[in-house]
Chain A
């Protein structure tokens, strides 16, 4: 943590500024407000934080090794589970990477469906963030309100993919299935209702004196620090840096949507909260546009080597049976090469670096986890704050431990 001034390294037992000694305190990994199994070793001077050392790895799942043992199309299932609050966005990063290596383009309808699922996921991820952060800072009712809308989103997930959370909906070559009429109906109703719900959350929090005093001026991260520490997503935009991969490096046709990048110059926990609220509004806007322009047509590439043939073809065509058999016993192989694709998740830049050696299993899949990098900024943000403020700081950093540890 060099580059900028401000971080002092202290030792336990060293004299503190208030006449006492520094005290090393352990937080977690089993702690109700560390957002999962994060462990922090904190040096305290009185109640002020002098050093924070995150200890991670308590949720290390071996996902990258697992991907190497699975075939290309099987890997999608595992990508769902690293950042478990935004599964379709993880799917999208992986699917885009594999498609880039294979040189295929998905049909327009699939692209729009991907955008719809990504934005729904962004909404549900921010809702979980707001509910749990509210709960930790004493706004218990936020949890009830936010999870109500989240359940609506999960019902839509279930309608379109058959699964509530880990949808595996976006796959290399397209999406799992076309949107059902009922899904589009539900989406229409959701887009209509959601802005009112966001107003409801704002009524509860934005001018709430307790919420404001717990977040304003807490966890300051200057724009320079945020850039140097590699923070992305609401952490970076909350520090006033206009950087969003959907605008900067558009993918899946994001360049054709009209939306603003939410930023805030507050540079503190409150700013990050405002950014997320704004992002939710923008997500609803994108959903509206996507639903309006949803084109007709296929949702998968017409490549029998990559995706199984439709069911009805299996009964009439011998070739289809052979393709089906090959695909489910051996899988497809991807041309040798490596590619990195980054997408904007609710937490920042979630990327997927894929290396193929030409076989039917990946040589290496590396997930660039936004939470992993953002968490390194924790020390900078928490320095010289009170212990209780650290809960707000961890909360607004929004680290998903599954994403950190993979």
Chain B
């Protein structure tokens, strides 16, 4: 079969791309978050999933109860010293590739609670990709963070994480 016949038979049904772009496109548009609600921010995280804001537009409405099925951990709220080992266990149970959004001031830095009980920033125990400021952030802020993360996932492609 000559090249002309091949072009004739498949016509414009071919799209050339790189593997990385395809994988990144697929991963980026179906980021499934683990349902990891901790405190006040969890309520805003639920609000993000409801009809008004609708995180489903970005392919992330499937909040998984099991960390084994999820790609993204949204640490929504303050992490206490007692919760920290559990948070790390949940993170370790998630399969690669995985990402973390630190939602709100408490998860990012400890927020207004600069005291003995809280972990002063969840980045002490898990690597964080996107931080969201606010106490709690608006649902739109979470969407924005998700979009930033999607850009990164798409750019990352099949390359291993840095």
Which residues of A are in contact with B by a Cβ distance under 8 Å?
A: 29-32, 36-37, 57-63, 65-66, 69, 77-78, 81, 84-85, 128, 131-132, 143-144, 147-148, 150-151, 164-166, 401-402, 405
**Which of A61, A401, A405 interacts with B113 by CB under 8 Å?**
A61
The 10 closest A-B pairs by CB, nearest first: A62-B117, A84-B40, A147-B50, A62-B115, A32-B65, A144-B51, A58-B83, A60-B80, A60-B117, A32-B35
CA distance A63 to B39 in the complex (A): 14
Bound-complex Cα distance A330 to B45 (A): 38
B77 / chain A contacts, CB cutoff of 8 Å: 59
CB distance from A265 to the nearest CB of B (A): 32
Q: A29-B83, A147-B52 are in contact. Are A85 and B112 (CB under 8 A)?
A: no
User: Would you give the shortest CB distance from A209 to chain B, in whole angstroms?
Assistant: 25
> How far, in angstroms, from A30 to B74 measured CA to CA in the complex?
13
CB contact under 8 A between A143 and B80, given known A61-B118, A84-B39: no
A30-B90 contact, Cβ under 8 Å, with A58-B80, A84-B40: yes
Which residues of A have CB within 8 Å of B50?
131, 143-144, 147-148
Nearest residue, chain A, Cβ from B65: A32
Excluding A29-B83, A57-B82, 4 further A-B contacts by CB distance (< 8 Å) are A30-B67, A30-B86, A131-B50, A401-B39
B-side contacts of A78, CB under 8 Å: 112-113
User: A-facing mask of B57-79, CB < 8 A → 1, else 0?
Assistant: 00000000101000000000110
CB distance from B108 to the nearest CB of A (A): 15
Q: Note all chain A residues with C-beta closer than 8 A to B24.
A: none
CB atoms of B80 and A164 under 8 A apart: no
Considering the chains assembled together, what is the distance between the CA atoms of A405 and B44 in angstroms?
A: 20
Q: Do the beta carbons of A66 and B113 come within 8 Å of each other?
A: yes
B135 touches A166 (CB 8 A): yes
Chain B residues closer than 8 Å to A65, beta-carbon distance? 115-117
Closest approach, in angstroms, between the C-beta of A401 and any C-beta of chain B?
8
The reply to whether A132 and B40 form a contact with Cβ atoms under 8 Å apart is no
A147 to B115, CA, bound (A): 33
Given A151-B52, A402-B39, A57 and B47 contact (CB-CB distance below 8 Å): no
Which residues of B does A touch, CB under 8 Å?
35-40, 42-44, 46-47, 49-52, 65, 67, 77-78, 80-83, 86, 90, 112-118, 135-136, 138
Q: Assess whether A165 is in contact with B40, with CB atoms less than 8 Å apart.
A: yes
CA distance A148 to B53 in the complex (A): 10
Chain A residue with minimal CB distance to B114? A66
Contact A150 B47 (CB under 8 A): yes
Residue of B nearest to A66 (CB): B115
Within 8 Å by CB of A165, from B44, B112, B117, lies B44
CB closest residue in chain A, given B44: A165
In the bound complex, residues from chain A placing their C-beta under 8 Å from that of B39 are: 36, 59, 61, 81, 84, 401-402
Nearest-neighbor residue (CB-CB) of B42 within chain A: A36
B52 adjacent to A148 (CB under 8 Å)? yes
**A61 x B80 contact (CB < 8 A):** yes
Write out the residue numbers on chain B whose beta carbons fall within 8 Å of the beta carbon of A31. Answer: 65
Expressed in whole angstroms, the minimum distance between the Cβ of B145 and any Cβ of chain A is 17
Q: Max chain B CB contacts within 10 Å: which of A81, A128, A402?
A: A81
Instruction: Please list 21 pairs of residues, one from A and one from B, whose beta carbons are closer than 8 Å in the complex, sorted by A's number.
Output: A32-B65, A36-B39, A57-B80, A58-B86, A59-B39, A59-B77, A59-B83, A60-B81, A60-B117, A61-B78, A61-B80, A61-B115, A61-B118, A65-B116, A66-B112, A81-B113, A84-B43, A143-B46, A147-B46, A164-B138, A165-B40
User: Could you tell me the distance in whole angstroms from the C-beta of A26 to the nearest C-beta in chain B?
Assistant: 11
- State the CA gap A62–B112 with chains docked (Å): 11
Closest Cβ–Cβ distance, residue B67 to chain A (whole Å): 8
Residues on A with C-beta less than 8 A from B78 are: 59, 61
Contact pick for A85, options B43, B51, B65, B114, CB 8 Å: B43
* Nearest CB of A to B105, in Å: 11
Q: Give the Cβ gap from B141 to chain A, nearest Cβ, in Å.
A: 11
| A62 and B43 contact, Cβ closer than 8 Å, known pairs A30-B90, A37-B83 | no
Q: Which residues of A contact B37 (CB under 8 A)?
A: 36
- A69:B115 contact, CB within 8 angstroms: yes
